[in-house]
Amino acid sequence: MTTANQNALAKYKNNFLKEVEANVEDGHWVKMCMQCGVCAGSCPLGPHWEHSPQKLFMMIRAGKREEVLGSDSMWMCTSCYNCIVRCPRKLPITHIMHGLANYAHRLDLAPKGQPTRDIAKLFWDNLAKTGRVNELKFSLAMYFKDGFGQGVKNAMAMQATGLGLLKAKRLNPMEIIGGHKCKDISGIKKMIAKAREIEDRRRGLA
């Protein structure tokens, strides 16, 4: 168990709702859900959620901390924002899902090897390195995230697609040795580090 998780447990005891309100992006909205279920019916990946946003909100109120933070569900969010625009109570559901996923990830309670969790981290690390996303490196990192053998298989499986993009000049092999990047990389890195430091302090993750 991470220290951050132990601290959170000690601080909020049985009040998971309070913890969510304090530490999760837009978490203060959770209490406003009226349990209508429109979000559950509006999600394109709805059938693949073990717990719909509606249920997650209920579980938060019921104090089911491990189940919520360990859930695979929030990672099914495609960021389509359908739930947000349809919610009659105007809950920023997409943001709350993102916030819950991030909080679970940072406490390391999110499911291990969850593919969206993994690529989300790869993506962020990729952009944080140069200030801009290097699509080739990101793709390769994705293919090889489960080890070299699987990576070759993944890359071979997507070969046709890659070649198509290459032919259409929408994939640049030269990106592997440099590629697009910002000038003030060091400033960006410091800035992101600072932001993370502030937020972690605020959330008790530091």
Find the binding residues for other proteins in span 126-185 (CB under 8 A): 127, 131-133, 135, 142, 158, 160-161, 164-165, 167-172, 174-175, 180, 182-184
Q: How far is CA 91 from the centre of its chain?
A: 19
Cβ atoms of residues 129 and 63 within 8 Å: no
Given candidates 4, 53, 54, 204, which one binds other proteins under the rule CB under 8 A?
Answer: 54
Question: Which of 152, 157 has the CB closer to other proteins?
Answer: 157
Given candidates 8, 19, 82, 107, which one binds other proteins under the rule CB under 8 A?
Answer: 82
The rounded distance, in Å, linking the Cα atoms of 75 and 17 is 20
The rounded distance, in Å, linking the Cα atoms of 202 and 53 is 25
Given candidates 9, 22, 111, 116, which one binds other proteins under the rule CB under 8 A?
Answer: 116
Cβ atoms of residues 66 and 108 within 8 Å: no
Work out how close the CB of 111 gets to other proteins at its nearest, in angstroms, rounded to a whole number: 12
- Helices and strands (H and E) in the chain: how many: 12, 0
The rounded distance, in Å, linking the Cα atoms of 28 and 24 is 8
Given candidates 105, 107, 109, 204, which one binds other proteins under the rule CB under 8 A?
Answer: 105
115 phi/psi in degrees, rounded to 5: -60, -40
Given candidates 17, 20, 107, 109, which one binds other proteins under the rule CB under 8 A?
Answer: 17
Work out how close the CB of 102 gets to other proteins at its nearest, in angstroms, rounded to a whole number: 5
Asked if 125 interacts with other proteins (CB under 8 A), we say: yes
Given candidates 121, 150, 176, 206, which one binds other proteins under the rule CB under 8 A?
Answer: 121
Q: One-letter amino acid identity for 146?
A: D
